[in-house]
Amino acid sequence: MRQFELVGKGVKLVLSDNVLAVLSDAPLTTVSSAFHNGGGVKTTKVIINAEVTKAYSDRVLHANPEAFLEASARKFGVTESYIGMATAAAVDNFALVSKKTSHIGVSVMATAADNAGNTCNHSESAGEPIEIMEHTGTINIIAIIDGNPTESALVGTIITATEAKMAALRELDIRSRYSGDEATGTVTDAITVAATNRGAPIVYGGPASELGQLVGFCTKKAVKEAVMKANECMPSRSILSRLKERHLPVEHLASELAKVKSLGVEESAIAALLVKVLQSDALAASVVWAAVKIAEDIEKGVVPPEFGKPETLSKRFGAFFTKQAGVSDEEHVAVDLPLFLKDVLIGIVHNALSTGKTESLK
């Protein structure tokens, strides 16, 4: 059993086997989305985040999650009045971030990914159509506030922490498995915020408040650290990985580019060429990445008016950065890829084939 000190006297974090638990000598006031004893303002001395062991299948766990959490709580001699969250993440990879001012302290614990170390594979973007394939890949957050927020301020910190979690995912460029859009979380994320109720009343918990700034800072840092501890979705992952996360794997790119018959090359050869170019030519990779970013803005409808007509500018963009040969309008239309990315890739493939080199943009 390992123990870690948190902000506030008499509050500690304990890691035992597959359970991460916050234990408090005095009752904590909580708001939580946990499925065991979560909900509106409540009091408890125990908050647990339990890692689902391999003995539980996804189906068995969701059929009776209470039995699993009860067994987890009993490891600490707890049988009632606790808040319980479950996760597929390895809890010993948790991240803990604390920060204090002169009269408020915040500690945030986060666990992320599943027991195979996957966050990228289980993320989603709220508001998109989601067909649930499995429930693994949870991001769980516990925030402890050594202070006395009002009920509304306590609820406000959940919003602040959620925004901070989204900011962490954005900074790691994590994408939805369902659409390839920027991820906002996973389908089973949970959060608990608890306060010690010490000190003068705190009436604001939003991002600009003193309390909110502490919660936001600690949450964003803890989520990023937890994701990276799982050794998945690392900031340095390759452009090929990031294209795949956007539902643009090299196989799909090659399949579409093969429709340009004037290139005179088979799909498999195009795929191999793209891999070689993107892995060896930094300038080519950077232009492809710029094209991807512009294409995303076009999809979102946030293109600056100075761009003019995107379809026209896309062809000019490709011709500017590559010595692109003429491609018929019919061939161009047949390629079902995002604007800008389409024209850059056509030019890169043509240049590499015509010069016999992979240094296609030199």
- Contact (Cβ atoms closer than 8 angstroms) between residue 160 and residue 212: yes
End position of a domain, from candidates 188, 209, 229: 229
At residue 55, the pLDDT reads 62
Which of 206, 229, 252 is the last residue before a domain boundary?
229
Instruction: Verify that 61 and 124 share a domain, yes or no.
Output: yes
Is position 362 within any domain?
no
pLDDT digits (tens, 9 = 90+) for 315-336: 888 887 666 556 778 888 899 9
Residues 203 and 265 in one domain: no
Give the model's pLDDT for residue 358: 47
Same-domain check for residues 13 and 115: yes
Find the distance separating the first CA and the last CA of the chain, reported in whole Å. 59
Q: Domain for residue 322, yes or no?
A: yes
Of 270, 276, 245, residue with least CA distance to 257: 270
Residues 223 and 275 in one domain: no
Question: Does 296 share its domain with 163?
Answer: no
DSSP 243: H
Per-residue model confidence (pLDDT) at position 61: 60
- Which pLDDT belongs to residue 133? 61
Kindly state whether residue 178 falls inside one of the protein's structural domains. Answer: yes
Supply the range of the domain harboring residue 42: 2-229
309 assigned to some structural domain: yes
Q: pLDDT tens for the chain, 362 residues: list them.
A: 899 999 989 999 999 989 999 999 999 999 999 989 999 999 999 999 999 876 655 555 666 677 788 888 888 888 778 999 998 889 999 999 999 999 999 999 999 975 444 555 678 899 998 887 665 668 999 999 999 999 999 999 999 999 999 999 999 999 999 999 999 998 889 999 999 999 999 999 999 999 999 999 999 999 999 999 886 678 889 999 999 999 999 999 999 999 998 888 999 999 999 999 999 999 999 999 999 999 999 999 999 999 999 999 998 888 876 665 567 788 888 999 999 999 999 989 988 887 765 444 44
In a domain, 361, yes or no: no
Query: What percent of the chain is helix, strand and coil (3-state, nearest 5)?
Result: 40, 20, 35
Same domain, 201 and 244: no
Choosing from 172, 207, 229, the residue where a domain stops is: 229
**Residue 102 Cα to chain centre, angstroms:** 32
Residue 103 has a CB neighbour count (10 Å cut-off) of 13
Shared domain for 180 and 37, answered yes or no, is yes
CB proximity list for 91: less than 8 A, separation 6 or greater: 15, 18, 19, 20, 49, 50, 51, 111
Q: What is the pLDDT of residues 273-291, one digit of tens each?
A: 999 999 999 999 999 999 9
* 162 phi and psi angles, rounded to 5 deg: -65, -40
- Measured in degrees and rounded to the nearest 5, phi and psi for residue 5 equal -85, 140
32 with 46: CB under 8 angstroms? no
Instruction: Tell me: do 222 and 254 sit in the same domain.
Output: no
Question: Is residue 54 located within the same domain as residue 150?
Answer: yes
Same domain as 179, residue 110: yes
Residue 289 falls within a domain, yes or no? Answer: yes
Strand partners, 4: 13
On whether residue 320 sits in a domain, the answer given is yes
- The count of domains in the chain is 2
Task: Collect all residues with Cβ–Cβ distance below 8 Å to 81 and sequence separation of at least 6.
Answer: 37, 44, 45, 46
Give the Å distances, CA to CA, from 81 to 48, 73, 360.
11, 10, 65
Both 222 and 88 in a single domain?
A: yes
- Residues 272 and 186 grouped into a single domain: no
Within a domain: 194: yes
Q: What is the CATH number of the domain that holds 46?
A: 3.60.70
Nearest to 163 by CA among 191, 144, 201, 133: 191
